[in-house]
Structure 1
Amino acid sequence: MNKNRELKEAKVAEIKEKLEKAQGVVLADYQGLTVEEDTQLRKSLREAGVEYKVYKNKLVARAAEELGLGDVTKYLEGPVSIAFGYEDATAPARILNDFAKDHKKLELKAGIVDKVVYDKDMIAKIATIPSKEVLIAKLLGSIKAPLSNLAYLLSAIKDKKEAESAE
Protein backbone atom coordinates (compact mmCIF):
# COMPACT_ATOMS: atom_id res chain seq x y z
CA MET A 1 0.00 0.00 0.00
CA ASN A 2 1.39 3.41 -0.85
CA LYS A 3 2.29 5.99 1.78
CA ASN A 4 -0.32 8.55 0.66
CA ARG A 5 -3.16 6.05 1.06
CA GLU A 6 -1.92 5.09 4.53
CA LEU A 7 -1.90 8.75 5.57
CA LYS A 8 -5.44 9.24 4.27
CA GLU A 9 -6.69 6.15 6.07
CA ALA A 10 -5.09 7.37 9.30
CA LYS A 11 -6.81 10.76 8.89
CA VAL A 12 -10.18 9.07 8.25
CA ALA A 13 -9.69 6.99 11.42
CA GLU A 14 -8.84 10.17 13.37
CA ILE A 15 -11.94 11.96 12.08
CA LYS A 16 -14.13 8.94 12.87
CA GLU A 17 -12.80 8.84 16.42
CA LYS A 18 -13.53 12.55 16.92
CA LEU A 19 -17.03 12.23 15.45
CA GLU A 20 -17.80 9.25 17.69
CA LYS A 21 -16.45 10.94 20.82
CA ALA A 22 -18.03 14.36 20.28
CA GLN A 23 -21.44 15.16 21.74
CA GLY A 24 -21.84 18.11 19.39
CA VAL A 25 -20.21 18.91 16.04
CA VAL A 26 -20.67 22.02 13.93
CA LEU A 27 -19.55 22.59 10.34
CA ALA A 28 -18.89 26.17 9.28
CA ASP A 29 -17.71 28.07 6.23
CA TYR A 30 -14.80 30.17 7.44
CA GLN A 31 -13.65 31.60 4.09
CA GLY A 32 -12.86 35.30 4.33
CA LEU A 33 -11.91 35.44 8.01
CA THR A 34 -8.72 37.32 8.72
CA VAL A 35 -5.90 35.68 10.66
CA GLU A 36 -6.76 37.82 13.70
CA GLU A 37 -10.42 36.82 13.54
CA ASP A 38 -9.55 33.15 13.14
CA THR A 39 -7.15 33.34 16.09
CA GLN A 40 -9.82 35.01 18.21
CA LEU A 41 -12.36 32.31 17.24
CA ARG A 42 -9.94 29.48 17.98
CA LYS A 43 -9.11 31.00 21.38
CA SER A 44 -12.77 31.26 22.43
CA LEU A 45 -13.42 27.69 21.26
CA ARG A 46 -10.35 26.36 23.07
CA GLU A 47 -11.41 28.11 26.31
CA ALA A 48 -14.75 26.29 26.10
CA GLY A 49 -13.08 22.92 25.54
CA VAL A 50 -14.09 22.76 21.87
CA GLU A 51 -11.65 21.38 19.31
CA TYR A 52 -11.56 23.24 15.97
CA LYS A 53 -10.10 21.59 12.87
CA VAL A 54 -10.02 21.79 9.09
CA TYR A 55 -9.90 18.52 7.15
CA LYS A 56 -10.26 17.60 3.50
CA ASN A 57 -13.95 17.26 2.71
CA LYS A 58 -13.51 13.84 1.05
CA LEU A 59 -11.91 12.44 4.20
CA VAL A 60 -14.67 13.83 6.42
CA ALA A 61 -17.29 12.44 4.04
CA ARG A 62 -15.71 8.98 4.13
CA ALA A 63 -15.55 9.00 7.95
CA ALA A 64 -19.15 10.23 8.22
CA GLU A 65 -20.42 7.57 5.84
CA GLU A 66 -18.62 4.84 7.77
CA LEU A 67 -20.39 6.04 10.93
CA GLY A 68 -23.81 6.20 9.26
CA LEU A 69 -23.82 10.00 9.13
CA GLY A 70 -23.98 10.20 5.34
CA ASP A 71 -26.47 13.11 5.49
CA VAL A 72 -23.62 15.42 6.47
CA THR A 73 -21.81 14.92 3.14
CA LYS A 74 -24.10 17.36 1.31
CA TYR A 75 -22.75 20.17 3.53
CA LEU A 76 -19.11 19.39 2.70
CA GLU A 77 -18.60 21.82 -0.15
CA GLY A 78 -16.00 24.55 -0.23
CA PRO A 79 -13.80 25.34 2.76
CA VAL A 80 -15.34 23.75 5.85
CA SER A 81 -14.11 23.95 9.41
CA ILE A 82 -15.34 21.55 12.06
CA ALA A 83 -15.81 22.25 15.78
CA PHE A 84 -15.98 19.21 18.06
CA GLY A 85 -17.60 19.62 21.50
CA TYR A 86 -16.79 16.74 23.82
CA GLU A 87 -18.21 18.02 27.12
CA ASP A 88 -21.16 20.21 26.10
CA ALA A 89 -23.17 19.32 23.00
CA THR A 90 -24.32 22.90 22.46
CA ALA A 91 -20.99 24.69 23.06
CA PRO A 92 -19.67 24.53 19.46
CA ALA A 93 -22.97 25.81 18.06
CA ARG A 94 -23.28 28.54 20.69
CA ILE A 95 -19.74 29.87 20.26
CA LEU A 96 -19.71 29.74 16.45
CA ASN A 97 -23.19 31.29 16.26
CA ASP A 98 -22.21 34.15 18.59
CA PHE A 99 -19.01 34.73 16.61
CA ALA A 100 -20.92 34.69 13.31
CA LYS A 101 -23.20 37.50 14.55
CA ASP A 102 -20.22 39.88 14.63
CA HIS A 103 -18.26 38.34 11.75
CA LYS A 104 -20.46 37.86 8.70
CA LYS A 105 -17.76 35.88 6.87
CA LEU A 106 -18.30 32.92 9.20
CA GLU A 107 -21.39 30.95 8.27
CA LEU A 108 -22.80 27.88 10.00
CA LYS A 109 -23.50 25.07 7.55
CA ALA A 110 -24.75 22.12 9.60
CA GLY A 111 -24.11 20.11 12.72
CA ILE A 112 -24.39 16.81 14.47
CA VAL A 113 -25.81 16.44 17.97
CA ASP A 114 -26.14 12.98 19.49
CA LYS A 115 -25.42 11.36 16.11
CA VAL A 116 -28.27 13.25 14.35
CA VAL A 117 -27.44 15.60 11.46
CA TYR A 118 -29.11 19.04 11.55
CA ASP A 119 -29.18 21.87 9.00
CA LYS A 120 -27.93 25.38 9.74
CA ASP A 121 -31.35 26.67 10.90
CA MET A 122 -31.67 23.93 13.50
CA ILE A 123 -28.06 24.41 14.61
CA ALA A 124 -28.82 28.12 15.12
CA LYS A 125 -31.74 27.08 17.35
CA ILE A 126 -29.54 24.62 19.24
CA ALA A 127 -27.07 27.47 19.78
CA THR A 128 -29.67 29.26 21.90
CA ILE A 129 -29.84 26.39 24.42
CA PRO A 130 -27.88 27.34 27.54
CA SER A 131 -25.00 25.19 28.71
CA LYS A 132 -25.61 22.18 30.95
CA GLU A 133 -24.31 24.06 34.00
CA VAL A 134 -26.70 26.97 33.42
CA LEU A 135 -29.65 24.59 32.99
CA ILE A 136 -28.77 22.77 36.22
CA ALA A 137 -28.45 26.08 38.06
CA LYS A 138 -31.89 27.15 36.80
CA LEU A 139 -33.38 23.82 37.86
CA LEU A 140 -31.87 24.06 41.32
CA GLY A 141 -33.04 27.67 41.61
CA SER A 142 -36.59 26.68 40.72
CA ILE A 143 -36.48 23.88 43.32
CA LYS A 144 -34.93 26.12 45.96
CA ALA A 145 -37.42 29.00 45.64
CA PRO A 146 -40.52 27.10 46.91
CA LEU A 147 -38.47 25.50 49.70
CA SER A 148 -37.18 28.92 50.77
CA ASN A 149 -40.73 30.27 50.77
CA LEU A 150 -41.91 27.30 52.85
CA ALA A 151 -39.07 27.80 55.34
CA TYR A 152 -39.92 31.51 55.59
CA LEU A 153 -43.61 30.68 56.14
CA LEU A 154 -42.85 28.10 58.85
CA SER A 155 -40.48 30.54 60.55
CA ALA A 156 -43.15 33.25 60.49
CA ILE A 157 -45.74 30.87 61.99
CA LYS A 158 -43.26 29.84 64.72
CA ASP A 159 -42.45 33.50 65.52
CA LYS A 160 -46.16 34.34 65.69
CA LYS A 161 -46.88 31.42 68.05
CA GLU A 162 -43.94 32.38 70.27
CA ALA A 163 -45.17 35.98 70.37
CA GLU A 164 -48.72 34.83 71.29
CA SER A 165 -47.46 32.54 74.06
CA ALA A 166 -45.23 35.30 75.48
CA GLU A 167 -48.26 37.58 75.94
Structure 2
Amino acid sequence: MRIEKELLKNHVAEAIKHSHFVVFIDFTGIKVSVFSELRKRLKAVNCRCLVSKNTLIRMALNEIKPEAVLAENIFKGPTAVLTSEEKDVTAVAKILKNFIAEFQLPKIKTAIIENAVLNETDFLKLADLPGLEVLRSQILLTLQSTGTRLVRLINEPASALARLIEKYSKKES
Protein backbone atom coordinates (compact mmCIF):
# COMPACT_ATOMS: atom_id res chain seq x y z
CA MET A 1 0.00 0.00 0.00
CA ARG A 2 1.29 3.46 -0.86
CA ILE A 3 2.41 5.64 2.02
CA GLU A 4 -0.34 8.23 1.32
CA LYS A 5 -3.06 5.58 1.53
CA GLU A 6 -1.50 4.14 4.67
CA LEU A 7 -1.53 7.59 6.28
CA LEU A 8 -5.18 8.16 5.29
CA LYS A 9 -6.17 4.73 6.63
CA ASN A 10 -4.36 5.45 9.90
CA HIS A 11 -6.09 8.83 10.16
CA VAL A 12 -9.52 7.20 9.78
CA ALA A 13 -8.53 4.37 12.15
CA GLU A 14 -7.44 6.84 14.85
CA ALA A 15 -10.70 8.77 14.53
CA ILE A 16 -12.73 5.56 14.88
CA LYS A 17 -10.55 4.29 17.73
CA HIS A 18 -11.10 7.39 19.89
CA SER A 19 -14.77 7.74 19.06
CA HIS A 20 -17.67 6.63 21.27
CA PHE A 21 -19.77 6.00 18.17
CA VAL A 22 -19.33 5.79 14.41
CA VAL A 23 -22.00 6.71 11.87
CA PHE A 24 -21.65 5.92 8.17
CA ILE A 25 -23.60 8.15 5.80
CA ASP A 26 -24.10 8.17 2.03
CA PHE A 27 -23.76 11.71 0.72
CA THR A 28 -24.70 11.00 -2.88
CA GLY A 29 -26.39 13.99 -4.48
CA ILE A 30 -25.48 16.51 -1.81
CA LYS A 31 -24.14 19.81 -3.12
CA VAL A 32 -20.85 21.00 -1.66
CA SER A 33 -22.49 23.97 0.03
CA VAL A 34 -25.09 21.73 1.68
CA PHE A 35 -22.43 19.22 2.76
CA SER A 36 -20.42 22.10 4.24
CA GLU A 37 -23.51 23.15 6.19
CA LEU A 38 -23.87 19.60 7.54
CA ARG A 39 -20.23 19.59 8.61
CA LYS A 40 -20.68 22.96 10.32
CA ARG A 41 -23.72 21.71 12.27
CA LEU A 42 -21.90 18.54 13.28
CA LYS A 43 -18.82 20.47 14.34
CA ALA A 44 -21.02 22.46 16.75
CA VAL A 45 -21.53 19.23 18.75
CA ASN A 46 -17.87 18.12 18.41
CA CYS A 47 -18.57 15.58 15.68
CA ARG A 48 -16.07 15.07 12.87
CA CYS A 49 -17.06 14.16 9.34
CA LEU A 50 -14.38 12.24 7.44
CA VAL A 51 -14.61 11.37 3.77
CA SER A 52 -12.37 8.63 2.43
CA LYS A 53 -12.33 5.74 0.01
CA ASN A 54 -14.51 2.83 1.05
CA THR A 55 -11.59 0.37 0.96
CA LEU A 56 -9.61 2.54 3.38
CA ILE A 57 -12.62 2.92 5.69
CA ARG A 58 -13.20 -0.85 5.64
CA MET A 59 -9.53 -1.56 6.37
CA ALA A 60 -9.45 0.98 9.21
CA LEU A 61 -12.64 -0.44 10.71
CA ASN A 62 -11.37 -4.02 10.52
CA GLU A 63 -8.15 -2.91 12.17
CA ILE A 64 -9.88 -1.14 15.07
CA LYS A 65 -13.21 -2.96 15.52
CA PRO A 66 -12.94 -6.39 13.88
CA GLU A 67 -16.00 -7.56 15.84
CA ALA A 68 -18.20 -5.01 14.04
CA VAL A 69 -19.59 -7.09 11.21
CA LEU A 70 -21.14 -4.76 8.67
CA ALA A 71 -23.05 -5.61 5.55
CA GLU A 72 -20.96 -5.30 2.41
CA ASN A 73 -23.48 -2.92 0.78
CA ILE A 74 -22.53 -0.28 3.36
CA PHE A 75 -19.30 0.21 1.45
CA LYS A 76 -20.99 0.99 -1.85
CA GLY A 77 -21.20 4.59 -3.04
CA PRO A 78 -19.58 7.58 -1.39
CA THR A 79 -19.26 7.17 2.36
CA ALA A 80 -18.57 9.71 5.07
CA VAL A 81 -17.68 8.63 8.59
CA LEU A 82 -18.99 10.61 11.55
CA THR A 83 -16.98 10.24 14.74
CA SER A 84 -16.91 11.99 18.08
CA GLU A 85 -15.14 11.71 21.39
CA GLU A 86 -18.32 12.99 23.05
CA LYS A 87 -20.59 10.35 24.58
CA ASP A 88 -23.86 12.07 23.65
CA VAL A 89 -24.90 10.41 20.41
CA THR A 90 -28.39 11.92 20.64
CA ALA A 91 -27.07 15.36 19.68
CA VAL A 92 -25.67 13.96 16.42
CA ALA A 93 -28.86 11.96 15.80
CA LYS A 94 -30.96 15.12 16.26
CA ILE A 95 -28.80 17.08 13.84
CA LEU A 96 -28.97 14.33 11.22
CA LYS A 97 -32.72 13.89 11.65
CA ASN A 98 -33.34 17.63 11.25
CA PHE A 99 -30.92 17.84 8.33
CA ILE A 100 -32.60 14.92 6.55
CA ALA A 101 -36.01 16.52 7.13
CA GLU A 102 -34.71 19.79 5.69
CA PHE A 103 -32.71 18.51 2.68
CA GLN A 104 -33.91 14.87 2.25
CA LEU A 105 -30.22 13.89 2.36
CA PRO A 106 -27.89 12.26 3.48
CA LYS A 107 -28.83 8.63 3.86
CA ILE A 108 -27.60 6.92 6.99
CA LYS A 109 -26.03 3.60 6.04
CA THR A 110 -25.40 2.28 9.54
CA ALA A 111 -24.10 3.27 12.97
CA ILE A 112 -21.94 1.53 15.55
CA ILE A 113 -22.55 2.48 19.17
CA GLU A 114 -20.67 0.50 21.81
CA ASN A 115 -20.32 -2.50 19.46
CA ALA A 116 -24.05 -2.46 18.63
CA VAL A 117 -24.82 -2.01 14.94
CA LEU A 118 -27.90 0.13 14.24
CA ASN A 119 -29.74 0.70 10.99
CA GLU A 120 -31.01 4.12 9.90
CA THR A 121 -34.42 3.76 11.56
CA ASP A 122 -33.01 2.71 14.92
CA PHE A 123 -30.35 5.42 14.84
CA LEU A 124 -32.89 8.16 14.10
CA LYS A 125 -35.01 6.97 17.06
CA LEU A 126 -32.15 8.18 19.25
CA ALA A 127 -33.00 11.72 18.14
CA ASP A 128 -36.28 11.48 20.06
CA LEU A 129 -34.48 10.74 23.33
CA PRO A 130 -33.46 13.54 25.66
CA GLY A 131 -29.79 14.48 25.75
CA LEU A 132 -27.29 12.91 28.11
CA GLU A 133 -27.29 15.88 30.49
CA VAL A 134 -31.09 15.90 30.64
CA LEU A 135 -31.14 12.17 31.42
CA ARG A 136 -28.56 12.64 34.16
CA SER A 137 -30.57 15.43 35.76
CA GLN A 138 -33.76 13.34 35.57
CA ILE A 139 -32.00 10.42 37.28
CA LEU A 140 -30.64 12.70 40.00
CA LEU A 141 -34.06 14.24 40.53
CA THR A 142 -35.60 10.77 40.84
CA LEU A 143 -32.95 9.65 43.29
CA GLN A 144 -33.31 12.84 45.31
CA SER A 145 -37.10 12.60 45.49
CA THR A 146 -36.89 8.92 46.41
CA GLY A 147 -34.46 9.75 49.21
CA THR A 148 -36.71 12.53 50.47
CA ARG A 149 -39.70 10.19 50.50
CA LEU A 150 -37.67 7.55 52.34
CA VAL A 151 -36.63 10.03 55.03
CA ARG A 152 -40.26 11.15 55.44
CA LEU A 153 -41.39 7.53 55.68
CA ILE A 154 -38.78 6.74 58.33
CA ASN A 155 -39.59 9.91 60.32
CA GLU A 156 -43.37 9.56 60.08
CA PRO A 157 -43.92 7.12 62.99
CA ALA A 158 -41.85 9.29 65.34
CA SER A 159 -43.59 12.45 64.08
CA ALA A 160 -47.01 10.86 64.53
CA LEU A 161 -46.10 9.83 68.07
CA ALA A 162 -44.86 13.35 68.85
CA ARG A 163 -48.09 14.87 67.51
CA LEU A 164 -50.15 12.42 69.53
CA ILE A 165 -48.25 13.22 72.75
CA GLU A 166 -48.60 16.95 72.07
CA LYS A 167 -52.34 16.55 71.46
CA TYR A 168 -52.84 14.67 74.76
CA SER A 169 -50.65 17.13 76.69
CA LYS A 170 -52.81 20.05 75.45
CA LYS A 171 -56.00 18.22 76.46
CA GLU A 172 -54.76 17.70 80.02
CA SER A 173 -53.79 21.35 80.46
Report Cα offsets for 1:84-122 as digits up to 9, x if no partner. 021125143332123212220221111111133222222
Contact 2:23 2:111 in 1 (8 A): yes
Query: Map of 1:124-135 to 2, 5 A cutoff?
Result: 124-135=124-135
Give 5+ residue unaligned stretches, structure 2. Answer: none
Contact 1:28 1:82 in 2 (8 A): yes
- Could you say which residue in structure 1 is the equivalent of 2:83? 84
Equivalent AA in structure 2 for residue 76 of structure 1:
F
Contact 1:97 1:108 in 2 (8 A): no
Larger Rg: 2
Identical-pair percentage? 25
* Cα separation, 1, equivalents of 2:61 and 2:88: 18
1:14 corresponds, among 6, 11, 22, to: 11
User: CA-atom RMSD, angstroms?
Assistant: 3.0
Report Cα offsets for 1:8-43 as digits up to 9, x if no partner. 111111211111211111111222233443232212
Give the TM-score of the pair, scaled to structure 2: 0.75
Matched, 1:64 2:43: no
- Could you say which residue in structure 1 is the equivalent of 2:51? 54
Q: How many residues align?
A: 162
Give the TM-score of the pair, scaled to structure 1: 0.77
Give 5+ residue unaligned stretches, structure 1. Answer: none
Superposition deviation, residue 70 in structure 1: 4.2
- Could you say which residue in structure 2 is the equivalent of 1:30? 27
